[in-house]
Structure 1
Amino acid sequence: MIEEQARVVALEAGAVWVETRRQSTCGGCSANAGCGQGLMDKIGVRASHGHVRALCDLQLQVGDQVVIGIAEDWLLRSALLVYLLPLLLFFLCAGLVQSLGAAEPWVIAAGGSGLLAGWLALRAVNSRLAHDRRAHPVVLRAYLPGTAPLV
């Protein structure tokens, strides 16, 4: 289970919206000097807080400090799906059209079509997983008032 500390900002039936503090890992990266993301973090362009909806069975109030978590296997599956599916479809479509002897503009168009097909497939999978409780972050525990670290 991957855990993150958060602060409750809104309540829903069976869920809460929490605010997490985004932490950059740019300080430990060897490409920090030439990286656009590192530059954006240094000048403060990116928001430092993110809002996440987490399932919750606890009685919480706005401002409570909690720990949210998501299963590692779901996070890994999601990352593989989001990054690899469009890329694989891009290469598959472009390679198929190229093997048929088509001109380069058609190969490029086929690659773009593969990316679009990957994006549409991801939307379909996402709408199906939206109702699967295992794919959502959950509140694991809440801190007692006065004992929580600041988020």
Structure 2
Amino acid sequence: LVVGQKVEVGIPENSLLRSAMLVYLTPLLGLFIVAGIASLWLSSELAIFCSGLVGGVLCFLLAKNIARWWSKDVGFEPIILQIGL
């Protein structure tokens, strides 16, 4: 490689899909599941909303920790796909 040379990098598709699902679906599922369970016990819509929000935030934090753990995986390291002239 030479300074100024164009390089195309990427990560494997399955790693990209796994990380996208983790980032987008985990908090959303946490929100819906916790709000659904809260709706069985609580009658106030505000309390159900707050419970769902807490579930979403907790699952976001869980996803953040899982992503930190996955970052050590070799499958998430970028690889050189193409070297331009």
TM-score range, shorter chain: 0.7 to 0.9
Task: Provide TM-score, normalisation by structure 2.
Answer: 0.86
Q: Distance in 2 between matches of 1:80 and 1:106?
A: 28
TM-score (norm 1): 0.52
2:25 to 67, 84, 101: 84
Deviation at 1:142, TM superposition (A): 2.0
Aligned-pair distance for 1:125?
A: 0.8
User: Which of 55, 60, 64 is the aligned partner of 2:5?
Assistant: 64
| Counterpart position of 1:136 | 77
Rg larger in structure: 1
Instruction: Indicate the SS of the match to 1:62.
Output: coil
Whether 1:102 and 2:22 are equivalent positions in the alignment is no
* Matched positions, count: 85
Higher relative contact order (CA 8 A, sep 6+): 2
Which structure shows the higher strand fraction? 1
Q: What CA deviation, in whole Å up to 9, does each residue of 1:56-95 have, x standing for no partner?
A: xxxx343221121211111111111111111100001111
Structure 1 unmatched ranges of 5 or more: 1-59
Letter in 2 for 1:95: G
- Residue ranges of structure 2 left out of the alignment (5+ in a row): none
